[in-house]
Amino acid sequence: MIGPSIGAIAVMVAASTPAVVRRVLDAAGVAKLEISLALASKPERMLSRPSGEALRRSLQRISGAKGSVDDTALSALAALHRADGSAISHDTAAEEAWATAAELRVGVESLLVLFNPPEVTQLESPAAPLCGVPCTPFFSTRCCARPEVVLTWQCSELRTSEAGTDGTIATASTESSTWRDVGQGASFTPSIQYRDQLLRVVATPPALPHCAPLERRLVLGRVAVAPPRPVLEERLRALQDATGAAEFGVLIYVCLTSGLRQHTQNIHVTTWCWGVLLWRRLGPC
């Protein structure tokens, strides 16, 4: 790789995080470019630039150049290059320039450029993991379809320094733990063997030609055992005792039919709108 023509600089330093450029529409429907990059000299940041402006303006913002800078000086501060190593003209429209770029050079740093890559934009789970209860996270994608995303489930032993007394995670530094694959698919049901272990899911979009996929990870928490619950008949009788009512009715979804048949031998159950709801009437004991 050929570095910029500055005598004190011998080599370029490759950054581990690529520069990601996304073409988006603002509220008015105008095309914009969102440029996400992280440099060693600056924290990760996001720039929003008009898609039709000259590349020169974007490079000035990225390099931090102040005032009027000629092309030669700007090239030493920041430049875009194609895959064959040729530099992209500063007069090129920003969208065209980023779409054909392979490398961004900022000072001594070199970043791979990804334009509209496939990625998972959101990954979340509505509940903490419990033994025997399926975990099905929600995720959304960009520039790829949901079936193209692979969900990999991983577990890790929860170290003493990471475990809170109430079962939560006491520290946030879970990346140092040793994660092992335990499953793959849209849903995962942790068994009792994973009790007290950390569970996380890794969403992997389609592979990229010259870069690792832009994975997104979510730590769901420590796998716990669900607390014991009283059978339905006991709960209904407790409700009657608490209200003091002589008679009351309860509507129960049909998915609980098997539980009713098993635990209500001494209480009359009649059918109402069969296949949708059951009408449960509890008389005086």
Cα–Cα distance list, 151 to 72, 186, 208 (Å): 47, 6, 17
For the question of whether the overall pTM of this predicted structure is more than 0.85, the answer is no
| Of the candidates 284, 231, 281, 277, the residue with the CA atom closest to the CA atom of residue 257 | 277
Alpha carbons 285 and 279: distance in angstroms, whole number: 18
Q: Please report, in tens digits, the pLDDT of each residue of the chain (285 residues total).
A: 333 333 333 343 444 688 999 999 888 888 999 999 888 877 788 889 999 999 999 998 888 877 777 888 888 888 999 999 999 999 999 999 999 999 999 888 899 999 999 999 999 998 899 999 899 999 999 999 999 999 999 999 865 444 444 444 444 444 446 899 999 999 999 999 999 999 999 999 999 888 889 999 999 999 999 877 666 667 777 777 776 655 555 555 444 444 444 444 444 444 444 433 344 444 443
At 37 the three-state DSSP class reads: strand
Maximum distance among all Cα pairs of the chain, rounded to whole angstroms: 95
3-class secondary structure for 212-244? Answer: CCECEEEEEEECECCCCCCCHHHHHHHHHHHHC
DSSP assigned state of 285: -
Report in angstroms the alpha-carbon separations of 227 from 32, 130, 133, 224, 230: 51, 10, 12, 9, 10
In the three-class reduction of DSSP (H, G, I as helix; E, B as strand; rest coil), residue 256 is classed as helix
Domains of the chain in sequence order:
13-115 (3.10.20), 119-222 (2.60.40), 232-282 (no CATH)
- Residues with Cβ within 8 Å of residue 19, at least 6 apart in sequence: 35, 36, 37, 104, 111, 112, 113, 114
CA distance 13 to 231: 64
Burial class (CB in 10 A: 0-12, 13-18, 19+), 271: exposed
